[in-house]
Structure 1
Amino acid sequence: MARLILFNKPYGALSQFTDRGSETARATLSDYIDVPGVYPAGRLDRDSEGLLILTDDGALQARISSPRHKMPKTYLVQVEGEPGAAALAALRAGVELKDGRTRPAQARRIDPPALWDRDPPVRYRKSVPDAWLELTITEGRNRQVRRMTAAVGFPTLRLVRWRIGAWEIGDLGLGAWREVG
Structure 2
Amino acid sequence: MLIALNKPYGVLCQFTSDEGRPTLADHVRQKGVYAAGRLDHDSEGLLLLTDDGRLAHRLTDPRHKQPKTYLVQVDGAVTDEAVAALRRGVLLKDGPTLPAGAEHAAEPDWLWPRDPPVRYRKSIPTSWLSITLREGRNRQVRRMTAAVGFPTLRLIRVRIGAYALDGLAPGETRVLAG
TM-score by length of 2: 0.97
Runs ≥4 residues deviating over 4 A: none
Identity, in percent, stands at 62
- CA displacement, residues 100-122 of structure 1 (integer Å, 9 cap, x when unaligned): 10010000011111211100000
Q: How does 1:9-28 map to 2 (within 5 A)?
A: 9-20=7-18, 22=19, 25-28=20-23
Match of 1:108 in 2: 103
How far off its partner does 1:138 sit? 0.4
Rounded to whole Å, the distance in 2 between the matches of 1:69 and 1:171 is 26
Unaligned stretches of 5+ residues in structure 2: none
Are residue 86 (structure 1) and residue 86 (structure 2) matched?
no
Is the partner of 2:144 in helix, strand or coil? helix
Tell me how many residue pairs correspond in the alignment.
176
Instruction: Indicate which of 4, 9, 16 corresponds to 1:6.
Output: 4
Rounded to whole Å, the distance in 1 between the matches of 2:132 and 2:10 is 23
Instruction: Indicate which of 38, 50, 67 corresponds to 2:62.
Output: 67
Counterpart residue type for residue 104 of structure 1: P
- CA displacement, residues 20-42 of structure 1 (integer Å, 9 cap, x when unaligned): 3x3xx110000111111111000
Counterpart residue type for residue 85 of structure 1: D
Instruction: Indicate which of 150, 153, 167 corresponds to 1:171.
Output: 167
Match of 2:156 in 1: 160
Match of 1:30 in 2: 25
TM-score by length of 1: 0.96
Rounded to whole Å, the distance in 2 between the matches of 1:83 and 1:131 is 6
How far off its partner does 1:157 sit? 0.3
Rounded to whole Å, the distance in 2 between the matches of 1:132 and 1:83 is 8
Instruction: Indicate which of 1, 24, 47 corresponds to 1:52.
Output: 47
How far off its partner does 1:161 sit? 0.3
Are residue 137 (structure 1) and residue 133 (structure 2) matched?
yes
Rounded to whole Å, the distance in 1 between the matches of 2:73 and 2:56 is 28
How far off its partner does 1:83 sit? 1.3
Rounded to whole Å, the distance in 2 between the matches of 1:41 and 1:130 is 31
Is the partner of 2:99 in helix, strand or coil? coil
